[in-house]
Amino acid sequence: MSVGPSGRIVIEIDPETKQELYQALAKEDLKLKHWFLIQAEEFLKDRQQLKLELVANSKASGEN
- CA angle, residues 27, 40, 14, in degrees to nearest 5: 60
Q: pLDDT per residue over 44-60, tens digit each?
A: 998 877 767 778 776 65
**Which long-range CB contacts under 8 A does 9-14 form with residues at least 24 apart?**
9/36
Choice between 51 and 31, residue whose per-residue pLDDT is larger: 31
CB 21 within 8 A of CB 32: yes
Domain edges within the chain: 15-46
Average pLDDT, the chain: 86
Q: How far is 12 from 36, CA to CA, in rounded Å?
A: 15
- pLDDT at site 8: 92
